[in-house]
Amino acid sequence: MKFTIKHDIKGRMRIHLAMKRMTFKEADSFEYYLNCYDGIKKVKVYERTADAVVYYNCSRREIIDYVRKFSFKKLQVPEKVFECSSRELEAKYSEKIITDIVLHYGKRLILPLCVRRVWVIVKMLFYILRGLKTLKNKRLQVELLDAIAITAAVLSGDYNTASSIMFLLKIGDTLEDWTHKRSIDDLARQMSLNIDKVWLVTDTGEVQVNSSDIECGDEVVVRMGNMIPFDGEVSRGEAMVNQASMTGESEAVCKSVGMSVFAGTVIEEGEITIKVTQTEGCGRFDKIVKMIEESEKLKSSLESKAERLADKLVPYTLVGSGLTWLISRNVQKSLSVLMVDYSCALKMAMPISVLSAIKEASEYGITVKGGRFLEAVAEADTIVLDKTGTLTKAQPTVVKVVSFNGESEDELLREAACLEEHFPHSVARAVVDAAEKKGLLHEEMHADVDYIVAHGIASTINKEKVVIGSYHFVMEDEGVVIPNGKKKQFDSLPDEYSHLYFAKNGKLAACILIEDPMREEVKEVIEGLRNEGFEHIVMMTGDSERTAKKIASEAGITEYYAEVLPEDKAGYVERAKAEGRKVIMVGDGINDSPALSASDAGIAISDGAEIARQIADITISSSNLESLVILRRISSLLMKRIKFNYRTIVGFNTALIGLGIAGVLPPATSALLHNSSTLALGLKSMTKLIPENKEK
């Protein structure tokens, strides 16, 4: 692709493709191509000018060579890239605002005065109709105040004021709708499915294939803890399915043969085979958007309080305007009160603040399902952190397989991987990856597998009962014994690694040593959380006391609990809440789900188990725990912004009313100042809470 460099400084380059402009699809394709390069940190493509701003941390020559290789014809772009694009939405609203501004001021320059007045009267009828419609609900709302103010201005002969009021209201409505729609769509995209592989049922058994290869009529197997990837009908099995993402139901429902299931829902217990009736791109995104828009979770308590206050203040504004006229007999003073109301600004600024904060959080890889969870994070004094996959790296590795039954290490690893590949856990992935790296491929050797949450897996291989999992599950619950003469070898297993035990027919066959090092940023993150005001930082893990103590010490955590079960984590959260504390829980596995549900705000790691992400109120990127500190900062700054908006709206509008009653401000000026301040506050609420130069 031919291009020119328009601007170039260290780490940043603005390039222009050899074309006048790009279509939305072309811009998305080029942005996708640039984001695929590891040396590029951030990209912004402008379709109108065919420009792209590239931020990079590699050599300048690498970027130039990479862009030269680009070709629209050769590039294969996943359809999801276009489905999740917001370019068309952004262009639609920006063009609408520009058009409205040009028409408003253009009419004043071109149209005769008499025509402009007729146009104002025609537009006024729309606002009157909108105001009257609110009376059907037997409530006095801001739309009625707008209608009365515009009508009063026209009746008093002040057509310019009426026109300005309607213009500002229209711009305000467009901006509010734009921000709301953009924030909802961004949130929905974050919540959309991201399932790459599924288990397809074939004549020879289960085969793992790309989800894009599935067609209607195919059968796929979904097990406990996994998300259902397609709409379909249960053909075999029975499971308890969490459908909160689609239906809003808080309790899991039983799904058996012949019943329908929905894409995006999660299996809490059991295993089912689904006959696919709808594949990708069949309305799931729209379903999620609808669910978010209808959900009360989008409102924080401060936001809801402001909206309730806004509705309550409308009658008082009307009464105040009437009393002003009765006392002063001055229509101008009465109109000054009428043209200033609190509810318009309150109802516009508060939701925009929340949705803008959700949008800003998404830029850091943080998905927040509603404003009230940001409020919970801001108020929390206790944070509970799971260890494996949260404080430790999300990709543990197998260091060694220690054989206790004389079989080869590779054979034992192959059998363990055959069991573990069916289940969503970072340790399970480590075993599977280790087998793949050694080329230890396998056919499905086992019978049906039974997954015991937070413990392990039970099945049969070659008619032998096999179990794999924690010490508690394998050695205590299952009563597995150490083979004769192997006790010394067992006692000498190194303590610095996590241990995964594999047994056959009641005897220990192998111990898989897992290296699960702590994330490099953990110590800094823990210190950051303390600086952000958390009084209690707690680590909980199912690992041994020895391992837990080591990790807690390295992380700088003083309160930790080892060898805990899922119910123990949830129990701690419930006790802390009973003591009056606000608690947030951070985890990534199926065993964290009860605690995530019990907390004031549950936070899941993005590459953890689907059920954890489903139940959680917030999802953060797995790449860096710094997201936790950023989330707390955004939440705290949002609460400050909401309180500031509230004080500003009440104070400024009260001052306008006072100046209007005193006769200092004429109605036109009061209306202009009120609407301008509302618009300015709305625009201010759309700005970032954390400036880019202060990002950490």
Residue 358 binned pLDDT confidence (cut-offs 50, 70, 90):
confident
Question: What pLDDT is attached to residue 68?
Answer: 92
Q: Are strands 197-202 and 205-210 parallel, antiparallel or unpaired?
A: antiparallel
Of 75-84, 250-259, 440-449, 588-597, which range is least confident? 440-449
Question: What pLDDT is attached to residue 578?
Answer: 93
Q: What is the mean pLDDT of residues 8-19?
A: 91
Highest mean pLDDT among 49-58, 225-234, 461-470, 516-525: 49-58
User: In this predicted model, what pLDDT tens digit does every residue of 273-315 receive, in sequence order?
Assistant: 999 887 754 444 455 555 555 544 455 566 666 666 666 667 7
User: In this predicted model, what pLDDT tens digit does every residue of 33-75 receive, in sequence order?
Assistant: 998 888 898 899 999 899 999 999 899 999 999 999 998 888 8
DSSP labels, 75-87 = ----HHHHHT--H
Helix pair angle (522-531, 626-661), 10° resolution: 30
Give the mean pLDDT of the chain. Answer: 81
What does the angle CA 149 – CA 155 – CA 160 come to, to the nearest 5 degrees?
Answer: 70
Question: What pLDDT is attached to residue 283?
Answer: 46
Q: What is the mean pLDDT of residues 312-338?
A: 73
Q: Which residues pair with 12 in a beta bridge?
A: 9, 55
Question: What pLDDT is attached to residue 246?
Answer: 55
User: In this predicted model, what pLDDT tens digit does every residue of 369-385 receive, in sequence order?
Assistant: 778 889 899 999 999 99
User: In this predicted model, what pLDDT tens digit does every residue of 380-422 receive, in sequence order?
Assistant: 999 999 887 788 876 788 999 999 998 999 999 998 888 887 7
Q: Would you give the distance in Å from CA 56 to the centre of its chain?
A: 26
Q: Where are the strands (E) in 128-218, listed by range?
A: 197-202, 205-210
Of 115-124, 176-185, 272-281, 300-309, which range is least confident? 300-309
Question: What pLDDT is attached to residue 631?
Answer: 94
Question: What pLDDT is attached to residue 41?
Answer: 86
Question: What pLDDT is attached to residue 282?
Answer: 47
Of 12-21, 74-83, 118-127, 616-625, which range is least confident? 74-83
Contacts by 54-59, CB closer than 8 A, 24 or more apart: 54/12, 54/13, 54/14, 54/15, 55/11, 55/12, 56/11, 56/12, 56/13, 57/11
Q: What letter represents residue 516's amino acid?
A: D
Q: What letter represents residue 260's amino acid?
A: S
Q: What is the mean pLDDT of residues 344-364?
A: 78
Q: How many Cα atoms are found within 13 Å in the side-chain-facing hemisphere of 596?
A: 25
Greater confidence, 695 or 47?
47
Q: What is the mean pLDDT of residues 136-160?
A: 77
Greater confidence, 593 or 488?
488
User: In this predicted model, what pLDDT tens digit does every residue of 437-477 receive, in sequence order?
Assistant: 888 876 666 556 666 655 678 888 878 889 998 888 888 88
Question: What pLDDT is attached to residue 298?
Answer: 52
Residue 696 binned pLDDT confidence (cut-offs 50, 70, 90):
very low
Question: What pLDDT is attached to residue 53?
Answer: 94
Q: What is the mean pLDDT of residues 336-356?
A: 72
Question: What pLDDT is attached to residue 192?
Answer: 55
Q: What tokens appear for 189 in the block?
A: 């995209």
Q: What is the mean pLDDT of residues 531-555?
A: 87
Residue 501 binned pLDDT confidence (cut-offs 50, 70, 90):
very high
Does the structure show a pLDDT above 70 at 186? Answer: no
Q: Where are the strands (E) in 606-689, listed by range?
A: 618-620
Greater confidence, 184 or 164?
164
